[in-house]
Amino acid sequence: MIRQISRNRAEQIAYYRYLENEQVSLSELVRSLSEHCQNQVGGRHILAISDTSEINLQSHRGRLKSEGLGVVGNNKDVGFFIHPTLAVDADSGFPLGLSHIQLWTRAAERPDKQERNYPTLPIEKKESYKWLASAERSQRCFEQGDAQLVTHIGDREADLYEAWARVPDRRNHVLVRVHQDRRLLGQAQSLYDYLSAQPCEGTYTVEVTADPRQKRTARQALLTVRCASVEIQRPDKLKGYEYPPSIHLYALEAKEVNPPPGQEPIHWRLMTTHRVVCIEQALQVLQWYCWRWRIEQLFATLKLAGLDIEATQLESVEAIQRLTILALSVAVRTLQMVEGRDNPDIPASVAFTDPQQHCLSEIAPTLQGRTQKQQNPYPPASLPWATWIIARLGGWSAYRSQRPPGMPTLVHGLRRFEAIFLGWKTALGGLVCTP
């Protein structure tokens, strides 16, 4: 990645020195991204979407410094984990920035779960605490940014009784995909059977993307929707802790009708603190959960589909972690440009700082074509205006007959722009790191 954004050997060395500089702390880089996100959330209902991915560095094991190395999901390959929280506008699904990022390594030599009596450990001593930490550590961003409401969204791993008990309050809701068939207070049936026995409230159509790993074909799926008010009971393992004996939530089920032969039917069970008692409310919650896909796009852009962070030639884990945080900021901007490339009402300030916009204005005339068809048609300082410039830097011809610029083109354009911006800032007398 460093070689791709550097114009010459001198710039490569400058980047490497910056990333290896111990005075550049991970917390400061995360705080910078969080503050930029904070400026975008005012007055909005925010979906705070969290998820975990691993940065696998096994192919570089022979040259990496041993300090800070850990193992990843298979407990053999080396690398580290990241757990970002992506803030998304609940009305439009537009990504606004990163409210927090967690990074950690997992020691190769450690007692297994049975030796640690894992089920009885407090949540703070488990990796799953990351879900509560994401919500807690994002609060500064959302509170100081004056977000109107926050809904914390997670996949099945986030279905934790501790999170249901501790995260929700007047301004914070939770929405996760169900992982456990929980016991219900006052009901003979468990959650799954009780939910399936509810009357169908209506139907929902969803576009299913192809996934060769799961042998899933692309299709339009028709889902039946059911919902219910439920009171989940506290698990026995938590009886010694100060958690309420039960928690009131709303559950909904969306199940595919008549899937294609050989295809596993889409079957979602969700639980939330939002009130869901009718089809309109259920469909709104389903739409919010569908936007969880944004964070999967973020990880794809960070890795092979875009920035290829795991191919880095840096030699220390902490330097690679710094690079990962910077790369996440580029991945977010790429998502923002793809989602907002046709909406002139979105300001460029969502993705670019004031100095970056100034630099874009300086280079814009050099990218205009000779014909009207190759002129930037968008109002200055709008996100589509900035996206048009980045796409031109990425090799897009700007003809309207050509397909709109996609992620690979925009990633390439951002790499070139970062190099130009670095030189531009240096020429003005200051080298700074911007989100």
The per-residue pLDDT for range 295-333, each reduced to its tens digit, is 999 999 998 767 889 988 888 888 899 989 988 998 999
pLDDT digit string (tens) for 373-411?
889 999 999 999 999 999 999 999 888 778 889 888 998
Give the per-residue pLDDT at 434: 46
Is 435 a residue whose pLDDT tops 50? Answer: no
Q: Specify which residues 347 forms β-bridges with.
A: 382
- Residue 105: C-alpha distances to residues 72, 144, 175, 248, 324 (Å): 8, 30, 27, 36, 14
Cα–Cα nearest to 320, from 118, 70, 145: 70
CB 98 within 8 A of CB 86: yes
The size of the chain, in residues, is 435
Is 119 a residue whose pLDDT tops 80? Answer: no
Range 125-137 average pLDDT = 96
Mean confidence (pLDDT) of the chain: 89
Return the domain boundaries, the chain.
175-279, 341-427
Give the per-residue pLDDT at 189: 96
Residue 51's pLDDT band, with cuts at 50, 70 and 90, is very high
Give the per-residue pLDDT at 433: 46
Query: 391: buried, middle or exposed (CB in 10 Å: 19+, 13-18, 0-12)?
Result: buried
pLDDT digit string (tens) for 133-169?
999 999 999 999 999 999 999 999 999 999 999 999 9
How does DSSP classify residue 120? G
Which token pair is 291?
A: 């936007």
Distance from C-alpha of 350 to C-alpha of 298, rounded to nearest angstrom: 16
Using the Cα atoms of residue 75, residue 79, residue 80 and residue 86 in order, give the sign of their dihedral.
Answer: negative
pLDDT digit string (tens) for 207-250?
888 877 777 888 999 999 999 999 999 999 998 788 999 999 99
The CATH-assigned architecture of domain 175-279 is Alpha-Beta Complex (3.90)
Name the residue with higher pLDDT: 350 or 22.
Answer: 350
Strand ranges (E), 60-128: 70-71, 78-89, 95-104
Name the residue with higher pLDDT: 251 or 306.
Answer: 251
Characterize the bridge pairing of strands 78-89 and 53-56: antiparallel
Predicted TM-score of the model (pTM)? 0.90
HSE (CB half, 13 Å, CA atoms) of 399? 3
Q: What percentage of the chain reaches a pLDDT higher than 70?
A: 91
Give the per-residue pLDDT at 9: 53
pLDDT digit string (tens) for 254-285?
999 999 998 889 999 999 999 999 999 999 99
Alpha helices in 21-148 (DSSP H): 26-38, 129-137, 139-144
Give the per-residue pLDDT at 26: 87
Which backbone phi and psi does 387 adopt, to 5 degrees?
-65, -40
Q: CATH number of the domain at 341-427, out of 1.10.740.10, 3.40.50.9100, 1.10.760.10, 3.40.50.300?
A: 1.10.740.10
Distance from C-alpha of 289 to C-alpha of 137, rounded to nearest angstrom: 22
Which backbone phi and psi does 178 adopt, to 5 degrees?
-70, 135
